[in-house]
Amino acid sequence: MVEIKTDASIEAMREAGRVVAQALAAVQDKAAVGVSLRELDRAARAVLVASGAGSPFLDYRPDWAPTPFPAVVCTSVNDAIVHGIPDDYRLRDGDLVSVDCGAIRGGWVGDAAVSFTVGTARPEDVRLIRIAERALEAGIAAAVVGNRIGDIAHAVGRVCRTAGYGIPDGFGGHGVGRQMHEDPGVPNEGRPGRGMPLRHGMVLAIEPMVIASGSDWHYTADDGWTIRTTDGSRASHAEHTVAITDDGPRILTAL
Ligand code: MG
Ligand code: MG
């Protein structure tokens, strides 16, 4: 069931979203060669605590997960696509890092992700990151009343495929509200004009993921969480929580 949010609820969700944006900014600020993934998690935790926000990631345990998630951010480096667990790995020159963060404030959830390079960036990584961001922008532009879920999916997928990148199947966006994952699902590829009509008050996480080699193949690592590319090529992830309104899409997880 899709929950339609009131305008007051959307304002409250904006506050949760702002905390996510601040946490991601703090993580990106902290990230440098030699810094551990655990330190990135600590930087995000400090922002959540200072904002009086909780984490929808910490102790999250979906059906398929062997263990509760132990951190407030996912840190996915290089061939990791999503769901990487922050550990003692220290960032190296040229690493491509995707960080996904959530916050709960006033009972509402915000969910967003950003990808960036550390140290000397490889040009192909800069392009990969930029295309994921462009796909997100295209998805947001399609998140308007009168369109359908398939229009968002199509917009996202077209940008990724046109660039020659792979799209891991089985992963995508979702409704957001009092729960991190609500209906409807928002696939990263689809047919325009299909699926649920978009209405004022729907709040969606839109989150393109791209694989550099063009392959869609991925697997779950031994930790039961980290999703990696099968061929070892690099991946990038971008995400915003977006409210659909009669005045157009509103990004709730911007600074
Ligand atoms: Mg997320
Ligand atoms: Mg999400």
Residue 30 sits in a domain whose CATH number is 3.90.230.10
48 belongs to a structural domain: yes
- What's the 208 CA to ligand 1 centre distance in angstroms? 10
Residue 165 · residue 134 · CB < 8 Å: no
**pLDDT means over runs of 10, the chain (255 residues):** 97 98 98 98 98 98 95 98 98 98 98 98 98 98 98 98 97 98 98 98 98 98 98 99 98 98
- What's the 239 CA to ligand 1 centre distance in angstroms? 6
2 belongs to a structural domain: no
34 belongs to a structural domain: yes
Give, for 21, the enclosing helix (H) or strand (E). helix 7-30
* Structural domain of 54: 7-251
Instruction: Give the model confidence (pLDDT) of 143-167 as tens digits.
Output: 999 999 999 999 999 999 999 999 9
Which tokens in the block code for residue 154?
A: 């199509």
Question: Would you state the pLDDT for residue 122?
Answer: 98
- Report the distance separating Cα 73 and Cα 53, nearest Å: 14
pTM over 0.85: yes
Q: Where are the alpha helices (H) located in 121-205, listed in sequence order?
A: 123-141, 149-162
| CB-proximal residues (5 Å) to ion ligand 1 | 100, 111, 113, 239
- Report the distance separating Cα 126 and Cα 122, nearest Å: 7
Which tokens in the block code for residue 23?
A: 């946490």
- Report the distance separating Cα 99 and Cα 236, nearest Å: 10
- Report the distance separating Cα 197 and Cα 168, nearest Å: 25
- What's the 67 CA to ligand 1 centre distance in angstroms? 18
**How many folded domains does the chain comprise?**
1
1 belongs to a structural domain: no
80 belongs to a structural domain: yes
- What's the 111 CA to ligand 1 centre distance in angstroms? 5
214 belongs to a structural domain: yes
- What's the 144 CA to ligand 1 centre distance in angstroms? 21
| CB-proximal residues (5 Å) to ion ligand 2 | 111, 205
